[in-house]
Structure 1
Amino acid sequence: MVPPTAVANQAADKVVAVKEPVQDTILTPRFYTTDFEAMAAMDLRPNEAELKAICEEFRKDYNRHHFVRSSDFNGAADKLDPETRRVFVEFLEQSCTSEFSGFLLYKELSRRIKQKNPLLAECFSYMARDEARHAGFLNKSMGDFGMQLDLGFLTKNKNYTFFKPKFIFYATYLSEKIGYWRYITIYRHLDKNPQNKIFPIFNFFENWCQDENRHGDFFDALMKSQPNTVRGPIAKLWCRFFLLAVFATMYVRDLDRKEFYESLGLDARTYDKIVIEKTNETSARIFPVVLNVKNQRFWIRLERLVSNNAALKATDASSTVAPLKLLRKIPLWISNGAEMAKLFLMPAIDSSKFQPAVR
């Protein structure tokens, strides 16, 4: 893993500077903590066999030798125009922060529950290994552009959001599964359109996303061992909430940085629609309900969130005095709340009756 402080490091014969982390917003990756005692006390017997099988998969470490930089990286950053460099570095930073967030959570879980729940602790230790590898590889790629994140600073200074264990399951399951579909969709597109492969890191996405998929399968098995997390009316409401929160955040964020996807020859809306549909379909294997993403009103309301976000950014960038900015933002915040409420209240689909999208 790339050391937290990389001020004196060199990449491609360039001095690497520590990059200031972006300001936290609702769209930036979160750092999480949880109730470690409750996690340690979990009875895994209802699905222990599957969890042991997944743990054995983790032990094999299929990607042990995968994340090795090749000579393709030499000088690759210098070939990008300034605008492409800007949006690509932003992508690397957001991805590195997200992967590092997973590493911190899994590492702390492994450490804190080791004595009382060794099987669960071992699984988390392997996932922490994978996430550290991913974050380090991304941070090293940032070094090709003359900057890296100070991961030690992030560890100490990021705000941590407390989630109960079942909320950690929902959030991390979706994060890992949507990560799989994001990486594999980009990989498949670039495999067919190699002229759009702007940086050699994309050569690693096929194997990389299999780590994400295995992590998602682990949380699938963990929720099966704690059946109350995916049974009953309350669980259905929470599953709907987390699906909507993850999908809406991704859609607004990706449309806000659509130039990055354009640099890869992708349309951000089309890309997100594929990823959301496939993640929704995958989630039907464990969640009791999923969202009706075939309903056009779902996408219309997401587009309103995108428009409101653009208006909020324009307001922030304007020279208007602070009190007037606040007055202009209030209707937009209310509109966002109303659209999210409408999205949440749209009838969900019972997973037992779910029909996968045909493409």
Structure 2
Amino acid sequence: MVMVKTPVKPDQLKPGKKAPDKETLLTPRFYITDFEAAANLSLTEQETELNAMLTEMRNDYNRHHFMRDEEFKTGNWDHLDETTREGFIEYLERSCISEFSGFLLFKELSRKLKGRNPILSEMFQLMARDEARHAGFLNKAMADFNLSLDLGRVTKTRTYTFFPLEWVIYTVYLSEKIGYWRYIIIFHHLEKHPEKQFYPIFKKFENWCQDENRHGDIFTALLRSQPKLWDTWKARLWSRFFLLSVFATHTLTVHERASFYESLGLNATEFDKEVIKKTNETSARTFPSVLDVDHPDFYPGLQRCSQRNLKMKEIGETKAPKFWKTLRKIPLIAGIVVELFRIYLIKPIDAEALRGMVK
């Protein structure tokens, strides 16, 4: 894994533009990958499925969905309390950066593969189209609160992380599928509790999450087209590693922003558990091995990681010298690493053996 920082001259932000949150291990990352390996992918084993998905993507079922209707144009959200407002803006920013990251990666893959792997090139172009819509829609939502991100500037200041193509396939698949479950669970919850729907973007989540689902299915086909990504002992280890990485990140970020979920009437811990459980079940249709999230040590282990992370956040917000804050964080970081290793060692579920039984 290589971290590449694109240099940029410091300049003043324009009025109404928000400086992106400081990059941490938990913030969405920007990725580059091995484009040569992508161009040389053999799609023979999943060519029929990929062509069917390409037709579906061309149909562009959501082309009229991301429109700002009267509810956006005439709404007033001055009544939101400061905690809800700040939590929501943070949620919008994180989601916008994540979608924009996908746009940049897919756009570059499409450009690099043009003329060499036409099916994948067009597929990535259409996924980039979707991600750009999502990012733009989220950024306009931030503008309703008199803030927005200068996404052009973000491309020049963000750290770009190199991931091998195999890692990209695993992580993007999980990002899309966990995104689907996050959106649909919030949507159905607010259907039952419309009094908690304080902003109209949540009404868009049902159709929106279908984009995430389609993208995830495309990466399912890519993964299953490469036997080394599912039919080897290494693939079983990597599958569990990336599942745990994504689930741990989700648990830590959800509990860091518990007040936002509370403003929607959701319990952060229960929301986190449901998203993880559903994503794990979905991943069993794609990955050779998944985590045993029903094991009695699984969620308590993630909760202990979250508690340590919140403690580190408290330490980081103190006025103590930087070196002292670092020293205080070391045992907490070590505790998180040990806890995650214990969870990783929990006996996994053999998804390949259950392939015909998975709903």
Matches of 2:25 and 2:312, distance apart in 1:
12
Cα distance per residue 1:112-144 (max 9 Å; x no partner):
011100000000000000000000000000000
User: Contact 2:301 / 2:343 at 8 angstroms: preserved in 1?
Assistant: yes
AA at the equivalent of 2:328: R
Q: What is the distance in 2 between the residues matched to 1:179 and 1:325?
A: 33
Mapped to 2, the partners of 1:71 and 1:318 lie a distance apart of 44
Q: How does 1:217-236 map to 2 (within 5 A)?
A: 217-236=217-236
Q: Structure 2: which amino acid aligns with 1:286?
A: T
CA positional deviation for 1:268? 0.7
The aligned amino acid for 1:19 is K
Q: Please, what TM-score do these two structures have when normalized by structure 1?
A: 0.93
Q: Counterpart of 2:61?
A: 62
Q: State the 1:340 CA deviation.
A: 1.2
Match of 2:45 in 1: 46
Q: Could you list the runs of 5+ residues in structure 1 that have no partner in the other structure?
A: 1-6, 9-15
Distance (Å, rounded) in 2 between the aligned partners of 1:289 and 1:300? 21
* 2:326 is aligned with 1:326: yes
Query: CA-to-partner distance for each residue in 1:279-310, whole Å, 9 max, x for gaps?
Result: 00000001001000001211111111111111
Per-residue CA deviation, residues 11-43 of structure 1 (Å, 9 max, x unaligned), is xxxxx6110010001110011110001100111
User: What corresponds to 2:7 in structure 1?
Assistant: none
Whether the 8 Å CA contact 1:76–1:200 is kept in 2: the answer is: no
Work out the CA distance in 1 between the residues paired with 2:110 and 2:323: 47
Please state how far the C-alpha of 1:275 moved relative to its aligned partner: 0.7
User: Does structure 2 retain, via aligned residues, the 8 Å contact 1:99–1:132?
Assistant: yes
SS in 2 for 1:130: helix
Native 8 Å contact 2:32 2:162 kept in 1: yes
CA deviation profile, 1:180-236 (whole Å, cap 9, x unmatched): 000000000001110000100001000000000000000001111112111111000
Report matched runs for 1:298-317 at 5 Å.
298-317=298-317
Amino acid corresponding to residue 57 of structure 1 in structure 2: E
* Deviation at residue 79 of structure 1 after TM alignment: 2.8
Identity of aligned residues (%): 53
C-alpha deviation, 1:324, in angstroms:
2.0
Quote the RMSD (CA, aligned, Å): 1.4
Structure 1: how far apart are the matches of 2:36 and 2:322? 45
User: Does structure 2 conserve the Cα–Cα contact (< 8 Å) formed by 1:312 and 1:332?
Assistant: yes
Give the match for residue 171 of structure 1. 171
Deviation at 1:71, TM superposition (A): 1.4
Return the TM-score normalized by structure 2: 0.93
- CA–CA distance in structure 2, aligned partners of residues 50 and 325 of structure 1: 52
Taking the aligned partners of 1:217 and 1:303, their CA distance within structure 2 comes to 30
Q: 1:116: which partner in 2?
A: 116
Q: Which moved more, 1:221-230 or 1:240-249?
A: 221-230
How far apart in 1 are the matches of 2:121 and 2:226? 16
Cα drift, residue 278 of structure 1: 0.5
**Separation in 2, partners of 1:293, 1:69:** 39
Q: Aligned partners of 1:111 and 1:226: how far apart in 2?
A: 22
* Offset of residue 311 of structure 1: 1.2
Q: For the Cα contact (< 8 Å) 2:284–2:358, is it kept in 1?
A: no
- Measured in 1, the distance between the counterparts of 2:28 and 2:76 equals 27
Question: Does 1:344 pair with 2:344?
Answer: yes
TM-superposition CA deviations, 1:133-183 (whole Å, max 9, x none): 000000000000001001011111111111111110000000000000000
Quick one: distance in 1 between partners of 2:206 and 2:82?
A: 27
The separation in 2 between residues aligned to 1:80 and 1:71, in whole angstroms, is: 19
1:179-198 equivalences in 2 (<5 Å): 179-198=179-198
Contact 1:76 1:199 survives alignment (8 Å): no
What is the aligned partner in structure 1 of residue 70 from structure 2?
71
Structure 2: 5+ residue stretches without partners:
1-12
Letter of the structure 1 residue corresponding to residue 48 of structure 2: A
2:87 corresponds to which letter in structure 1?
V
SS of the residue aligned with 1:32?
strand
Q: Secondary structure at the match of 2:297?
A: helix
Matches within 5 A, 1:76-155: 76-155=76-155
- Three-state SS of the structure 1 residue aligned to 2:78 is helix
Aligned-partner residue type, residue 265 of structure 2:
G
Q: CA deviation at 1:326?
A: 1.9
Between the aligned partners of 2:106 and 2:231, the Cα distance in structure 1 is: 25
CA contact (8 A) 1:229 1:235 kept: yes
Instruction: Please name the residue that 2:6 is paired with.
Output: none
Secondary structure of residue in 2 paired with 1:77: coil
Confirm or deny: 8 A CA contact 1:255 1:306 kept in the other structure.
yes
Alignment map for 1:233-248 (pairs within 5 Å): 233-248=233-248
Question: Tell me, what secondary structure is at the counterpart of 2:55?
Answer: helix
Whether the 8 Å CA contact 1:142–1:148 is kept in 2: the answer is yes
| 1:30/1:161 contact within 8 Å kept | yes
| Equivalent position amino acid for 2:67 in 1 | V
| 8 Å contact kept, 1:187–1:203 | yes
In 2, Cα distance between the equivalents of 1:135 and 1:78? 24
Deviation at 1:77, TM superposition (A): 2.5
| Amino acid corresponding to residue 28 of structure 1 in structure 2 | T
SS in 2 for 1:249: helix
How far 1:356 moved relative to its partner?
Answer: 6.8
Question: How many residues matched?
Answer: 344
CA distance in 1, matches of 2:89, 2:239: 33
